[in-house]
Amino acid sequence: MTIPRNPSEFEIQAYLYAELQRLGYVVRGEVVGASGRVDLVVFDGGVPVRVLEVKARLVNQQHGNTKAKRVAEQLARYRDDWCPATVLLVDGAEKAERLIERVSRCGFRNHGNGKCHSIDVPMPNTQ
């Protein structure tokens, strides 16, 4: 057996967990909700503000893709169960790295055109 070339879903979850904690966020893994167990939940003041669903590989969004349909249904259930928290799909290590880069720069804010705006969750220790 050889060492796998690509990071596993667990390794991506571990990376996100460690980096978000390093940035000062309260993050928990494998949190049970009404529709099942979610990968990671970021809390602010004890309230869930982000739910991160992690996949090891990019989810192909092409029309008719069965896996993409299952993932879309899963995310819809999580959005219903975890409202008002925002549910994010992090599919692949590169997206995880980009998310951490943006969160370290801007906190959990809405992003558009490369700029940070519409603050909905401040960076830790800035309140």
Residue spans of the domains in the chain: they are 9-121
Tokens of 50: 């982000």
Average pLDDT per block of 10 residues along the chain, 127 residues long = 93 98 96 92 92 89 74 90 90 94 84 40 41
Q: How far apart are the C-alpha atoms of 92 and 74, rounded to whole Å?
A: 17
Name 9's Cβ contacts closer than 8 Å, sequence gap at least 6.
39, 54, 55, 56
Q: What's the whole-model pTM score?
A: 0.81
**The dihedral of CA 40, 81, 48, 112: what is its sign?**
positive
**The dihedral of CA 60, 109, 34, 24: what is its sign?**
positive
User: Is CATH 3.40.1350.10 what the domain over 9-121 is classified as, yes or no?
Assistant: yes
Residue with tokens 């991506």: 12
